[in-house]
Amino acid sequence: MIHDSDSKDNSSRSELLWEQREEKLLEKIRCDCVEAATRQEVKGIKKKRCHIFWVIPAMMMPIIAASINEMYTEYSNYSSMLMLISSLFNIIITFFNFGTQSHKHMEYATKYTEVADEIETELCKPRKHRIDCDLFLQRTTMKRNDINSRCPM
């Protein structure tokens, strides 16, 4: 979304001037960040579904087992089996930690979106009103690289 590309930069600037090359690079970085944010969000939703899939049965089985044990003493073996299955579900929940994974993916989707929004906001301004090109490029690249190095796979 390069806007106002016909506007002139202040030629008396001593730093790197805003030109098409820099704007295209920033637009590419913005598109990459939008795609990465979408990927992270999709992964976050999948992890959230996995979390719900495992947690709800793990919570319900002890309740069902307790009521079976109280009402039908002859079915105590089934009650024990439900408690064992519930324990296995809890081991899976603890080991994979789907809730935390979902949270991390959503957090990094937000970080990628913030970088993309910063770029879009800066490119919307006329060239002479933008911050220094070299500073903005360096800051944006460093943010994106930092997010890339830390984001969950």
Interacting residues of 22 by C-beta distance below 8 A, sequence separation 6+: 16, 133, 137
122, two tokens: 């800066």
- pLDDT for the residue 6: 53
Question: Would the pLDDT of 124 be above 90?
Answer: yes
- pTM > 0.75: yes
Q: What is the pLDDT of residues 15-61, one digit of tens each?
A: 788 889 999 999 999 999 999 999 999 999 999 999 999 999 999 99
Q: What is the pLDDT of residues 66-117, one digit of tens each?
A: 888 888 878 778 888 889 999 999 999 999 999 999 999 999 999 999 999 9
Higher pLDDT, 75 or 12: 75
SS3 sequence, the chain?
CCCCCCCCCCCCCCCCCCCHHHHHHHHHHHHHHHHHHHHHHHHHHHHHHHHHHHHHHHHHHHHHHHHHHHHCHHHHHHHHHHHHHHHHHHHHHHHHCHHHHHHHHHHHHHHHHHHHHHHHHHHHCCHHHCCCHHHHHHHHHHHHHHHHHHCCC
Question: Would the pLDDT of 5 be above 70?
Answer: no
